[in-house]
Amino acid sequence: MSGYGDFASFYDALMTDVDYAARAAYLLKLFERHSTRPRTVLDIACGSGSLCAEFLKHGVDPIGVDASESMLMCAREKLGAEVLLLEQNMCNMDLYGTVDGAVCILDSLNHLCKTAQLAAVFNRARLFIEPNGLFIFDVNTPYKHREVLGNHTFVTESDDMMCVWRNRYCKRTGEVAIQLDFFVEETADTYTRYVESVRERAYSENTLRRLLQQNGFETVAVYADMTFEAPAPDCERWVFVARSTRTAEQAKRGE
């Protein structure tokens, strides 16, 4: 994964179809449905800070973690000094204290192509979520990688930019290699090309449940994206609600 260096400046323009206000409200409803509304939330892979901004509107204090300095610079411009932002790889998160809950949205965990990396994120999240606290995250499904992303190409255009999104699907691993080509208008006659390459892996529901259990979480529920319904076979994104099984005594001992 390249770290989304150039991509950071284009990210919000490409994500105009994401209703962050509705997504934040949905996540908070999930917290309330399975626990209580959190006062503090860790936003893992927070990107340009749009979700953190929506949490603030609900009176929730977010902490943003992202590995990309460029993304965090965009987030800082959006959020000001009000939100703690940490430049950290999600596999090695290290907070200054605990939070009531954590979220990781828009398929960020799919960028981890090894189960050991995914297990590391779950393990680190467990250390910083209060006992019985919730970790809510979403992932692209194997169906989406196979049938929707596949070996397809997508093109997005705006007044001053065009993005060509090309995929290469590996059936054996469930991974999709993605190349993003951005053509940004500089003058009436010239464009500058920027290239970003990433890989994403789709995990089975059983694998996700197993890794959660092995790293101190129980799976409370799995929903189709933005619903409270069980996923259908052609669901493109699963939403996992996992509860920390860490006890207060373990927390005191730093386990």
CATH number at residue 194: 2.20.25.110
Question: Is the pLDDT assigned to residue 1 strictly greater than 60?
Answer: no
- Of the pLDDT bands very low, low, confident and very high (cuts 50, 70, 90), residue 248 is confident
Q: Which domain holds residue 55?
A: 6-141+203-253
- What is the reported pLDDT for 11? 65
- What is the reported pLDDT for 12? 62
Q: pTM of this prediction?
A: 0.93
C-alpha 18/C-alpha 210 separation (Å) is: 30
Q: Given 201, 219, 235, which residue is the final one in a domain?
A: 201
* C-alpha dihedral, 244 to 248 to 250 to 255, nearest 10°: 60
Do residues 112 and 130 both lie within one domain?
yes
Q: In DSSP terms, which residues pair with 164 in a beta bridge? A: 155, 181
